[in-house]
Amino acid sequence: MLLNFTLLIISLAVIIKSADLAIRYSSRLAEGLKLSRYLIGFLIVAVISILPETFVAITSAVEGIPAFGLGTLFGSNVADLTLVFVLVVLISGHNLKVESRVIKNRFFHIGAMMVPIVLGLDGHYSRAEGVVLITVGLCFYYFIFKKNKREGKAGKKEIKVSDVFKLLLSMAGLLLGAHFTVRYGVDLARGLSVSPVLIGMFVVGLGTTLPELLFSIKAARRAYDGLALGDILGTVVADATVVVGLVAMISPFAFNQRIIYISGVCMVFATVLLFHFMKTGKTLTKKEALLLLFFYFVFVTAELLIN
């Protein structure tokens, strides 16, 4: 047990250091490409950040338990939209600034999050629906790119291949750190005789959010609020559309509709609540963050009571 705890701490240290490096090199990339930090976070960092839950979801589909992956995806999305934003605001020590273009796109965000809910109301995802989800996700990303690509500040720095390589290397460190954090966290929980439901919800579900959590906290502490926002919001949209679509294409599956009625609905409601808070004053305040935290606790309580 002591060994698992030690390895868990080492894994977290790897994540923290990797997040530092990822912010440095993604910021340089944004300047070189003359793109906003929000767009870099949304399109590049977020796509890399979703790899942990993508691996969990695809593995569960291949092994014949795709519904487990769906639960993990929706659960981690609720955590991203509430708990992760709460920690980013509280630990960074300042209200999170939200740019106007992020608020203007809120209806597209909410719409994208509702697609998997509507398609999943019958408790089944087909391959055709998987294609629809992937198409929606890719179209949404293209839309965000077209709307934001010219809004970055003009930069004088040239893109260095070494910076791109170091960014990929630092993101790999985030992913490996998250993988081993989940692994040793599960081993530690089992050693403490914690129930499988709690392991799945708090270790696997929250463990897959570690890359975007640590990255966004570090970004916000350096006043790169756009980078933090882009990472979290980009991760959530990709999980709900592209990743769910991939799972459905690999293995069409039926699932307990409670996943949609509880996790799915909470995911959409959390999105609406978050954008409502961000619209007021174009910031996310500590008070609003605490309300998001309360919402997350309600979600967790509902999941525990039902499961």
* Residue ranges per structural domain of the chain: 2-150+158-306
Q: How confident is the model at residue 287 (pLDDT cuts 50, 70, 90)?
A: very high
What is this structure's pTM?
A: 0.79
Query: 88 or 15: which carries more pLDDT confidence?
Result: 88
Look at 67-76, 101-110, 136-145, 146-155 and tell me which has the smallest mean pLDDT: 146-155
Rounded to 5 degrees, what are φ and ψ at 183?
-60, -50
> How far is the C-alpha of 246 from the C-alpha of 243, rounded, in Å?
5
Give 131's pLDDT tier (boundaries 50, 70, 90): very high
Residue 201 to residue 205: CA distance in whole angstroms: 5
| CA nearest to 265, candidates 132, 79, 117 | 117
Q: How far apart are CA 65 and CA 57, in angstroms?
A: 9
Q: How does 124-140 read in b/e, with b if 16+ C-beta sit within 10 Å?
A: ebeeebbebbbebbeeb
Region for residue 7 given its phi and psi (left: phi exceeds 0; alpha: psi -120 to 50; beta: otherwise): alpha
> What CATH class has 2-150+158-306?
mainly alpha
- Band of pLDDT at residue 82, cut at 50, 70 and 90: very high
Is the torsion defined by CA of 61, 67, 69, 74 positive or negative? positive
Average model confidence (pLDDT) across the chain: 82
Q: Is the pLDDT of residue 297 over 90?
A: yes
pLDDT band at residue 236 under the 50/70/90 scheme:
very high
DSSP state of 64: T
> Rounded mean pLDDT of 29-50?
77
d(CA 247, CA 245): 5
Residue 99 has pLDDT above 60, yes or no: yes
| DSSP-derived 3-state class of residue 151 | coil
**Nearest CA among 234, 239, 43 for reference residue 145:** 43
> How sure is the predictor about 83, in pLDDT bands with cuts at 50, 70 and 90?
very high
124: β partners: 254
